[in-house]
Amino acid sequence: MSSTTHDTHHEHGDHHAPPYGITRWLFTTNHKDLGVLYMSFALLMFFVGGAMAMVIRAELFQPGLNVVDPYFFNQMTTMHALVMIFGAVMPGFTGLANWLVPVQIGAPDMALPRVNNWAFWLLPAGFVLLLATLFMPGGGPAGGWTMYPPLVLQMGDAFPFLIFAVHILGISSIMGSINIVATILNMRAPGMTLMKMPMFVWTWLITGFLIIAVMPVLAGAVTMLLTDQYFGTSFFNTAGGGDPVMFQHVFWFFGHPEVYILILPAFGIVSAIIPTFARKPLFGYSSMVYAVAAIAFLSFIVWAHHMFTVGMPLAGQLFFMFATMLIAVPTGVKIFNWMATLWRGSITFETPMLFALAFVILFTIGGLSGLMLALAPVDLQYHDTYFVVAHFHYVLVTGAVFAIMAAVYYWLPKWTGHMYDEKLAQWHFWLSVISVNVLFFPQHFLGLAGMPRRIPDYAVQFTEFNMISSIGGFVFGFSQLLFLWLVIKCVRGGEKASDQVWEGAQGLEWTLPSPAPYHSFETPPVVK
């Protein structure tokens, strides 16, 4: 965003070299090490969740196939969502925040380094608990990631483990967010006012507040489920005067801001990449900041658009419909700003730019189908069909996941000191972008024709689109192995990356050498 004068950024004394061995990774409080741990864990969970998606698409390849037991199929749809949301996308963004926020604001490290370490190590613990439920009597959750009662209560002995896992993952998220917010508010370099911060830092500041606000709501909801099951309360049990629809209200009060938690950092990434490869400053910086803040605010007042079918009064339907449609305004501002940044720019199409452009186009498709779902009378028809599945996968796969991939390609040379293989990366991009559309676009048609979601079998007229979708899914899944190989290859060596890496890249992180030293800023840089 601004020019910098940097004093001695780093000294090459031995006391600044990273420690070696397994203890380095177990006990590290260094923000870069923790960024690597978060992103490595996210990549592992991306493949675990992806394997579950492969099971789903194999079962749905044709009607009448019994690849897996129907109950196990429902466990896979549920676990796939939980693993991808809490294990892949959120830790992926948190890893990027750990690595980039301190170097983008000129801070020596995160504000709370030990909290940072603890927040990370809670994640593997939570996922061991969560995945262990699949091997317990009664099995893992099979009622959808929303955990609606009474469906989720059929798990038997595994149920408290699910609740405990959700609590652990929530604590991890809250601690990580407090750390990021504290770092941004207290540790910016001299001269870096709020309106000079990079967009990625802004989006994470707002995301951090969202997580701190809504994770305790999820904790409350699942705790009430637990007390209903084991302590005789009747929050959601109709036999005792409770209301299962209340769970939906409490859950979606968390769940709708959560989907913005999963996408806001992506906006920051794309706002860093597009100006670099268009070789122009970001168009309308302050309007971008206000748009992100407006989206975050509105995300709190639209939760019941997930619930139009529960028998809501007309006034409620109208309020939630109009409030939801209002989110299209700040979102549209951002998309037009990106397009204006591209307008008459000197554009080149390296892999990060390709993923960023695919993000803008495909995320917009997901946004438009979301606008259709915002219309209450329309949603009554589409609710719980594959149209909804297509909508949120366009937002979360071609949105959040593509943005994370764009970020990895963009900053990987700065992290490792090596350039990735551009030719292979382009193969990865084209395979991914074609197959992901073959995978999810037909699901719009399936949903419009009435195919329900979370069902292991279906009427014969849905066969062709399901076969096309499954083929796209397998190609997309296997092309991610190419991504894994690219990252490993880049870490192991290759062409030396320059300090600037990308011509026209703006930001403090590009003033550091490649690879960035273990301790970035011995003396804070001064932002002019």
pLDDT in tens, 269-311: 999 999 999 999 999 999 999 999 999 999 999 999 999 999 9
Instruction: Give per-residue pLDDT as tens, 381-439.
Output: 999 999 999 999 999 999 999 999 999 999 999 999 999 999 999 999 999 999 999 99
Q: What is the mean pLDDT of the chain?
A: 94
Query: How far is residue 517's CA from residue 256's CA, in Å, rounded to a whole number?
Result: 39
Asked whether the beta carbons of 231 and 187 are under 8 A apart, the reply is no
Q: For 332-387, how does the pLDDT look when each residue is reduced to its tens digit (9 = 90+)?
A: 999 999 999 999 999 999 999 999 999 999 999 999 999 999 999 999 999 999 99
Residue 413: what residue type? P
CA distance 424 to 431: 11
Condensed to tens digits (0 to 9), the pLDDT of residues 148-167 reads 999 888 888 899 999 999 99
Contact (Cβ atoms closer than 8 angstroms) between residue 489 and residue 431: no
Contact 431, 475 (CB under 8 A): yes
- Output the CA torsion 218→220→224→225 (10° steps): 20
3-state secondary structure of 266: helix
Whether 388 and 80 have beta carbons less than 8 Å apart is answered as: no
Residue-level pLDDT at 12: 37
Q: How many CB atoms lie within 10 A of CB 343?
A: 11
CA dihedral over 210, 213, 216, 221, signed as positive or negative: negative
Residue 176 has what pLDDT?
Answer: 97
What SS3 state is found at 348?
coil
Angle (CA) 90 94 98, round 5°:
175
This prediction's pTM = 0.95
104 pLDDT band, cuts 50/70/90, is: very high
- Indicate the DSSP class of residue 524: P
Catalytic residues: 80, 109, 145, 172-173, 256, 258, 260, 271, 305-306, 331, 334, 453
Residue-wise pLDDT for 453-479, tens only, equals 999 999 999 999 999 999 999 999 999
pLDDT of the residue at 164: 97
Long-range contacts of 12-21 (CB under 8 A, 24+ apart): 12/517, 16/517, 16/518, 16/519, 17/518, 18/518
Return the amino acid letter for 360: V
Q: How far is CA 21 from CA 160, 177, 282, 492, in A?
A: 36, 28, 42, 17
